């Protein structure tokens, strides 16, 4: 049976990215794993993690099942105790679903910490599929003035492709969310509502 790993990264409990990821997950038929990266943050990597990474690189280990061989000191074993369950979830998953907002043109530090912990040199997560549901305060789509500032989708696409060898990635964006509260964006409320409707239709597939 196929497995879905569902992650949420928004600091808001009632966020649009959470709403969209939950809607996508509702239609999943199979095993289901969930992790709330905001409510239960993954620690940032430390020096012992870098030693794990160096060992894997130096010994040309590409088999994820062998990464634990690097945990040969007390500090590395402590670091591996954090990494191992996170990696196990990813390895079990056929699809990884990530609900994330755009924060300051990029991704939340909670999501970045998770990515850092599970990423090792020359690893491959293909043929897994990644789905990202996101909410952005402004408009960053193709042809918009702020398109060059989109370091959320661009970063994640590059990360999945460059680090994980995964190109099967779907993005669902609800844009202009700040039009709900920012007087300077009030004139774009209809555009936000249209973007949100389209995103909801996409996830309620």
Nearest to 15 by CA among 29, 30, 36, 1: 36
Q: What is the token pair recorded at 68? A: 């634990």
Cβ within 8 Å of residue 148, ≥6 positions away? none
User: Is 184 within any annotated ligand binding site?
Assistant: no
User: Is 10 within any annotated ligand binding site?
Assistant: yes
User: Is 134 within any annotated ligand binding site?
Assistant: no
Sheet holding 31-36, edge to edge: 31-36, 3-8, 95-101, 129-135, 169-174
Cα(39)–Cα(189) distance, rounded to whole angstroms? 30
User: Is 97 within any annotated ligand binding site?
Assistant: no
Cβ within 8 Å of residue 7, ≥6 positions away? 21, 34, 35, 36, 37, 96, 97, 98, 99, 111, 114
In terms of phi and psi (left: phi > 0; alpha: psi -120 to 50; beta: otherwise), the region of 104 is: left
SS3 label, residue 101: strand
Residues annotated in a binding site for FMN: 10, 15-17
Residues annotated in a binding site: 10, 15-17
């Amino acid at each position: 049976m196929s497995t879905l790993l569902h992650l949420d990264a928004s600091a808001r409990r009632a966020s649009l990215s959470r709403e969209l990821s939950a809607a996508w997950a509702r239609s999943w038929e199979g095993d289901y794993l969930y992790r709330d990266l905001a409510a239960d943050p993954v620690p940032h990597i430390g020096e012992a993690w870098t030693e794990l990474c160096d060992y894997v690189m130096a010994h040309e280990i590409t088999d994820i099942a062998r990464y634990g061989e690097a945990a040969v000191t007390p500090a590395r074993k402590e670091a591996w105790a954090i990494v191992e369950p996170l990696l196990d979830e990813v390895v079990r998953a056929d699809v990884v679903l990530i609900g994330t907002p755009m924060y300051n043109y990029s991704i939340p530090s909670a999501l970045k910490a998770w990515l850092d912990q599970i990423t090792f040199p020359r690893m491959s997560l293909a043929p897994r599929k990644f789905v990202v549901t996101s909410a952005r305060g402004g408009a960053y789509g193709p042809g918009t003035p702020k398109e060059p500032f989109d370091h959320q989708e661009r970063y994640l696409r590059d990360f999945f492709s460059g680090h994980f060898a995964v190109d099967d990635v779907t993005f669902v964006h609800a844009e202009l969310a700040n039009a709900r509260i920012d007087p300077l964006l009030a004139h774009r409320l209809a555009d936000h509502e249209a973007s949100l409707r389209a995103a909801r239709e996409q996830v309620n597939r």
